[in-house]
Amino acid sequence: GGLCRPSRFTLSSTVALRKSPHRMPRFGLGTWLSKGQGEALNACKFALASGYRMIDTAALYNNEEDVGRAIAESDMKREEIFVVTKLHTNFHGKKEATAEIQKSLKKLGLEYIDLFLIHSPKGGKVVQTWEALVEAKKQGLVRCIGVSNFGIRQLQELKATGMEIPAVNQIELHVWNQQKETVKYMEDNGIAVMGYCPLARVKKFGSTKVAAIAKELKVTEAQLAIRWSIQKGYITIPKSSSEKRIKENSEVFDFTIPPRLMEELEQCDEGFKASNSVNNMKLPWREVK
Conformational region of residue 271, where left means phi above 0, alpha means psi within -120 to 50, and beta covers everything else: left
How far are the Cα atoms of 2, 12, 161 from residue 114, in angstroms, in the given order?
34, 16, 24
Give the chain's largest Cα–Cα span.
Answer: 58
Spatial separation of the C-alpha atoms in residues 250 and 157, rounded to whole Å: 37
Q: Are 149 and 142 in contact (CB under 8 A)?
A: no
Active-site residue (options: 52, 61, 196, 234): 61
Closest CA to 28 of 48, 42, 9, 6: 48
Note if 61 is an active site residue. yes
Three-class secondary structure of residue 148 per DSSP:
strand
Closest CA to 109 of 145, 71, 152: 71
Name the residues annotated as catalytic.
61
